[in-house]
Amino acid sequence: MGAATSLPDQSSKEPPSQLPYYIITGLSGAGKTTILYRLKLGVHTTCAPSLSENLETIEYEYNDGQVKQVFNLWDLTEGSSRALREFGTWQTHYRQYLRGIIFVVDSVDHNPFIMELALGRLSAVLQKQVQGMKLLPLLVLANKQDCPLAMTVADVKDLLRLEELPNYKEEQANELEALQSIYPDEYEEISTDPGEFTILVVPDEQDGDDTYAMKLHVKYTETYPDTLPEFSMDMEEGELDEEDFDTIMKKVTEAAEEAIGMGMVFSMASIAKDTLSEIIVSNMERREREEEEKAQRELEEEEKRKEGTRVTVELFTRWKTAFDSEMAEKERIEKGLKKDDPKMLKPTGRQLFERDHSLAKSDATFMEEGDVDVDIALFERELVITDDEDDNENDVLRNIRSSD
């Protein structure tokens, strides 16, 4: 197997070397380690199955030594869960140094079960690529082609179902072509590599003169559609409550997650359009209900005002008691019973005449030349005072006569 070297320190933020890294993997016995040391030493070596990972720096010259390549080749042991974990870790931390994957297949082994295991191993490696968000070139090496019973390259390709491997660029290009056809006016291209664009989302329903429109901004990732694209929603026209906007984003995200593995942008745009229309209709209906309820309350208040207060026995009794009390108080005031009230001590006209006799003759001061002075005595005969009358009522008249 050659001299074993220590593996990279996974806790380090920098790899031991900034040279390009390639990973060689496959099932046990496929010839991975043999290929590694053929490249390292330049000679064929017979190796026992590896029990641990191997990492070697390869210096390779070609074109008569005019071109020299130096890179690190990492041999991952088949079935090593640690190797797969480390591969995922390197995808995350050191992906800028990884350049490709070599998957070795034993062309002599015709056992279908072995080929299924190889397919499973290949799928696991490719899945790690997706999780690491790093697409690496893949070389499937059909080893031992010099053996008489070796399978052809076409057979290996069919058994590993390589035609079914995702071609993300092709899938993305096909979806872009479809989107441009579906949204000829709404689609706006930003970039072609990676695919980045916006789609104007206009709802079927509008709120009167208030118009609404949103823009769906999408940027493909390397592994789209096996992973979600980068996307956002922005209001192009109109304003939405934060709660309504969050509802649209939530439904668009759910639609995207449900469609992982296939083109999902059309579904995202359709959900955004339908949800925005539902929100507009819901807001219109709510506003109409509020206006109707307000009009009903105003009508009820107006009818109640016209109707007045319904008379009940209790209300009438309370009113009658207050009325009787008011009338009694008024009668007491008229009879002068509130003598302790200074306001009630103001003299009446009769009292003024009794106190000042000159008031009875005061009109004479306003007489002018030519006015006739009437002797009141001439009219005394017409005044008959009976003993039955109240003497107090004629005191003013007697006083006037006595003063004359």
For the chain, the domains span: 21-165, 170-282, 309-346, 357-403
Which residues does 132 contact at the CB level (< 8 Å), separation at least 6? 88, 91, 92, 95
Which one-letter amino acid corresponds to residue 107? S
Residues facing residue 54 across a β-bridge: 75
More confident residue, 118 or 345: 118
Task: Write down the pLDDT at residue 282.
Answer: 87
280 pLDDT more than 60: yes
Tell me which of 1.10.760.10, 2.40.30.10, 3.40.50.300, 1.20.1050.10 is the CATH number of domain 21-165: 3.40.50.300
∠ CA 327-328-332, nearest 5°, is 115
The pLDDT confidence band at residue 252, using thresholds 50, 70 and 90, is very high
What integer is the mean pLDDT of 363-372? 62
Q: What is the pLDDT of residue 6?
A: 34
Instruction: Give the pLDDT score at 8.
Output: 42
pLDDT(168) > 90 = no
* Structure confidence at residue 254 (pLDDT): 92
pLDDT at 190: 92
Please tell me the predicted confidence (pLDDT) of residue 379.
54
Residue of 395 and 223 predicted with greater confidence = 223
Average pLDDT of the segment spanning 279-299: 87
Q: 77-96: per-residue pLDDT in tens? A: 654 445 555 555 555 555 66
Q: How confident is the model at residue 399 (pLDDT cuts 50, 70, 90)?
A: low
**What's the pLDDT at 9?**
43
The pLDDT tens digits for 189-248 are 998 888 899 999 998 877 766 788 999 999 999 888 888 999 999 998 888 889 999 999
- Say which CATH superfamily domain 170-282 falls into: Ubiquitin Conjugating Enzyme (3.10.110.10)
Give the residue-averaged pLDDT of 289-311. Answer: 82
pLDDT score, position 281: 87
Of residues 38 and 377, the one with the higher pLDDT is 38
277 pLDDT more than 70: yes
Element containing residue 37 per DSSP (H, E): helix 32-41
pLDDT at 201 (0 to 100): 92
Across the chain, mean pLDDT equals 76
- What share of the chain has pLDDT > 90, as a percent? 13
Q: Do domains 21-165 and 170-282 have the same CATH topology?
A: no
| Residue 44 confidence (pLDDT) above 70 | yes
Residue with tokens 């071609």: 167
Q: For residues 293-307, b (16+ Cβ closer than 10 Å) or e, as one string? A: eeeeeeeeeeeeeee
**141/104 Cα distance (integer angstroms):** 5
Distance set, CA 42 to CA 28, 39, 56, 274 (Å): 22, 5, 13, 65
At 376, the pLDDT band (50, 70, 90 cuts) reads low
- One DSSP character per residue, 193-226 reads TTEEEEEEE--S--BTTB--EEEEEEE--TTTTS
Q: Among the listed ranges 66-75, 142-151, 238-247, which one has the minimum average pLDDT value?
A: 66-75
Question: Residues in the chain, how many?
Answer: 404
Place of tokens 């593996």: 7
